[in-house]
A and B are shown apart, each in its own frame.
Chain A
Amino acid sequence: MQRRIIKDKLFEIIIIIFALVSTFPLILILFQIVKKGIASINWSFFVNLPQPPGESGGGVSNAILGTFILIVIAGGFSILLGVLGGTFISEYKDKKISELIRLCVNIFQGIPSIVIGIIVYIWIVMPLHRFSALSGGIALGIMMLPLIVKSTEETLRLIPSSLKEASLALGASYTTTMLRVILPAGINGILSGILISVSRVAGETAPLLFTAFGNPFMNFNIFKPVDSLPLLIFNYSMSPYPEWHSIAWGASFVLISFIIILNILTKMVSRKWKTVF
């Protein structure tokens, strides 16, 4: 009897130790990013362009702008399509085509991001004969699609059909019902799905390697290559120069802060605009 109790206690202690030990890497990573990141952040970090190795005062303004451009293009490509597609499969649940889309979306959610890079390279970079912000943005947009479709469908499915029936009974047309009643009722879920998908792709590097490509200069033209924070971290961390490493730490800090803020925002949105049925 005694032995079984000791064994039980031992098991519990082991579980607790292993669970807590697995947070060490996170604490280490965050600690180092905050420590080294803040040290290399100052005003010129946000407004200057990258400098050649050996010169101080380099910044990442081009990458911050590039990340922003890429996300805007990705959103433009995926949000409307994703929300409409998600609405379709929740409206026509039992149709064969909805089943098929659901299956595709589930499978595509797990497709390695580098494969998306290959696809967009073939679809857009090859015909245009150049790397561009447009192709990078679409690559990120394709990665956002499954998440947006899924969150839209899941949100709309939870809306009681009595809401829809009430609207139709009042004489509202189907279009009005969907656009003015059903979609607004699910706005919190749809919006948080969009925000979460942005936070997922904001840190993506692999699909940008051969689409957005990277660019050490400021660029507003979507048909030219742009830099992004993850791309810059990749390129700088693989370089042998300590100055560039410290810029990469700073960029990591900015990127992680951005992602964590997006995650917090998502939680706030889904709480604030929650419709209770």
Chain B
Amino acid sequence: MKMDRYFKSILFGAAILLLLLLTGIFFTLLIGSIPAIKASGIKFLSGTSWNPVTGVYGAVPFVIGTLLTSFLALFISLPFSFSISLFLGEYFKKGALAEFLNYATDILASIPSVIYGFWGLLFLVPIVRKFELSFHILPYGVGIFTASLILAIMIIPYTSYLAKEVILLVPQDIKEAAYSLGATRSEVIRKIIVPYSRSGIFAGILLSLGRALGETMAVTMVIGNSNLIPGNIFSPANTMASVIANEFTEATNDVHLSALIELGLLLFIITGIINFIGNEIIKKLSIKG
């Protein structure tokens, strides 16, 4: 029985260690940000210029860059992920085509982001450049629009997977009741399925947004890395994650490093809140996320 006591304390120890590790991450970021918070204070959140040479650290250009790329990506991806979820959750639940689409989204989700970035750089950037030339926009090729396109492809599997799961949860009898009243399939989708699964679809969108906000490699490679506030959606820019990736190893002094850590903290808090809300919704719906 002594053995059992040891075993239980090992289990307990692992649990404590896990908790310490996870909370330690938050406090480490907080402590690492202190020099930057002391130096810039609230200006960090309101400053529109980021210049390590003069020691000015304002995060606004990156916050704008992050929000623009993420929401644009979400906007581009929604029709596609919504279609996939209806395709798999309503129209074709079984069959070769459904199997193919299931596999395709699985593989899309498991391609590393650096490969998306590489492909975007060599394939998408030249196409966007041609497009920009024909519309008389400065032909950078790289920029917010290109980054959003890549991000959209990357988040489609996440939104569509969760949306499909909730669409499958819609009770058959409600749908049949609507059909028996003479509703067409598209009417059933619009008036029964969508309202019924609204919160689950919303949770899926939130979790995808969380991913898009924190995505680093693919975005860093195609966004153009400019520390100025983007003028339009074709301008080169930087997101919070991409500026950390670019400048962290080259940080010139402690305040610069600390300012980058503070960006990480900001990113951590934003994605943490989004994930928390998304997971709470999923828990209520009791689907496997």
Contact residues of A with B, CB < 8 Å? 4-5, 7-8, 11-12, 14-23, 25-26, 28-30, 32-33, 80-82, 84-85, 87-89, 91, 97-98, 100-101, 103-119, 121-123, 142, 145, 149, 154, 173-175, 178-179, 199-200, 202-206, 209-210, 213, 230, 233-234, 237-238, 245, 248, 252, 255-256, 259-260, 263
Contact = CB atoms under 8 A, between A and B. Distances in A.
Among B114, B189, B261, max chain A CB count under 10 A is at B114
B185 A22 contact: no
B217 to A, nearest CB: 5
Given A18-B80, A28-B119, A209-B248, 8 more contacts: A26-B108, A81-B14, A88-B12, A110-B275, A117-B248, A175-B4, A237-B117, A237-B221
Interface string B146-157: 000000010010
Interface in B3-34: 3-4, 6-8, 10-12, 14-19, 21-23, 25, 28-29, 32
Given A22-B80, A87-B11, A114 B18 contact: no
Contacts, number: 244
Contact of A110 (B1, B110, B274): B274
Contact of A122 (B32, B88, B113): B32
B134 interface: no
Contact of A11 (B1, B29, B186, B278): B186
Nearest to A108: B22
A25 B156 CA distance: 11
Interface SS of chain A: helix, strand, loop or mixed? helix
B112 A259 contact: yes
Given A203-B114, A233-B115, A245-B122, A114 B241 contact: yes
A112 B245 contact: no
B14 A119 contact: no
Nearest to B81: A22
Contact of B111 (A29, A154, A179): A29
Nearest to B23: A104
B91 A32 contact: no
B129 interface: no
Contacts of B221: 234, 237-238
A205 B114 contact: yes
B18 A145 contact: yes
A118 B123 contact: no
A214 to B, nearest CB: 10
A28 B107 CA distance: 13
A112 B87 contact: no
A22 B248 contact: no
A213 B245 CA distance: 12
A263 B106 contact: yes
Interface string B179-207: 00000111101000000000000000001
A111 B214 contact: yes
A235 to B, nearest CB: 10
7 contacts: A19-B83, A21-B80, A22-B81, A108-B22, A119-B28, A142-B21, A234-B118
B111 A256 contact: yes
Nearest to B190: A11
A263 B214 CA distance: 24
B101 interface: yes
Contacts of B19: 97, 100-101, 104
A203 to B, nearest CB: 2
B110 A263 contact: yes
B268 interface: yes
B84 A174 contact: no
Contact of A112 (B79, B91, B100, B213): B213
B45 interface: no
A206 B267 CA distance: 14
B50 to A, nearest CB: 17
Given A174-B7, A230-B114, A234-B114, A112 B214 contact: yes
B113 A8 contact: no
A110 B210 contact: yes
Nearest to B12: A88
B112 A205 contact: yes
Contacts of B274: 110
Contact of B271 (A30, A85, A110): A110
Nearest to B19: A101
Interface in B103-148: 104, 106-108, 110-119, 121-123
Contacts of A20: 101
A276 to B, nearest CB: 19
Given A23-B104, A110-B271, A112-B241, A121 B80 contact: no
B245 A206 contact: yes
Nearest to B214: A112
Given A111-B272, A113-B216, A209-B248, A23 B14 contact: no
A89 B15 contact: yes
Nearest to A176: B3
A131 B82 CA distance: 43
A174 B213 CA distance: 45
Contact of B110 (A84, A111, A260): A260
